[in-house]
A and B are shown apart, each in its own frame.
Chain A
Amino acid sequence: MERISILKMGRFLLVSIQVDMDDRTAMNLQDDLTERIVKDRAKGVLIDISSLDVVDSFIGRMLANTAAMARILDAETVVVGMQPSVAITLVELGLSLRGVRSALNVERGMELLQSIVHDQSERVDAHDDEE
């Protein structure tokens, strides 16, 4: 059983899933991420699944749950690098991964997170100005 490493990049956390996870590894990842979001006061989480050639409903649910928990902790999640055959299979499976943003690769994912976080802080500033 392995623990997947989480990297900190500025206000964001980056996870690269390289292994065929068993259920426990996946659950540990979910726990570790939520802990790190709080500990590092992260504003965004980027999950790179470009090495995964299978994503079943369990992993899909893990990703969706992680995104939901992160949002409660005021962090956005972006999943990047989904392989075409995995995407086709997930659609056939009926898994929509609603609530999970996606981007083509790490670079795009970072851009997306930056823009989301930027928009959020702008809105807060505007709100402050109004008071």
Chain B
Amino acid sequence: MRTTTKSESIPVRTSAEVVSVRHLTRKWAVELAFTLVEQTKIVTAASELGRNMVDYGRGGTFTVEVLEEGGRKGLRLTFEDHGPGIADLDAAMRDGFTTGSGMGLGLGGAKRLSNEFELRSVPGEGTRVAITRWKGAA
């Protein structure tokens, strides 16, 4: 049974606030005593998704939750916006290393850096991405 023991939310609308997303994620990862590599991975994933939300989702809310399940602890980061949504989810998940438009490595990369990845998007309504990293997992 998975429970949320703590959580914190901040609005993210500008690229300066993406820096806050990184700092907040780092703060919680350190508190959960993640290893340095685990920290770097989750903060980098948060940076990718935070930037996506500002660039394509017209900004939204970032929530950090501390999860507990069967003795293990984890961090879940949720990025929720009310932007245009993603029309083609498959294309969005594919890695496109483009210099101009396109999400590049954002979604696929964040997924690779996390243990769990949820993506829900409705064109015209918005997008919700959640990633989870468990302490001690690969």
* A residues apposed to B, CB below 8 Å: 1, 20, 22-24, 53-58, 61, 65, 83-86, 88-89, 92-95
Main secondary structure of the interface of A (DSSP, over half): helix
B interface size (C-beta, 8 A): 26
A24: nearest chain-B partner, CB-CB: B15
**Interface Cβ pair total, 8 Å cutoff:** 67
B16 touches A54 (CB 8 A): no
In angstroms, Cα B110 to Cα A93, docked, is: 7
B44 touches A93 (CB 8 A): yes
List residues of chain A with CB within 8 A of the CB of B105.
Answer: 57, 93-95
A59: nearest chain-B partner, CB-CB: B47
In angstroms, Cα B106 to Cα A94, docked, is: 10
Shortest Cβ gap from B79 to chain A (Å)? 14
In angstroms, Cα B55 to Cα A58, docked, is: 12
The residue that B44 contacts in the complex, of A20, A24, A56, A65, with Cβ under 8 A, is A56
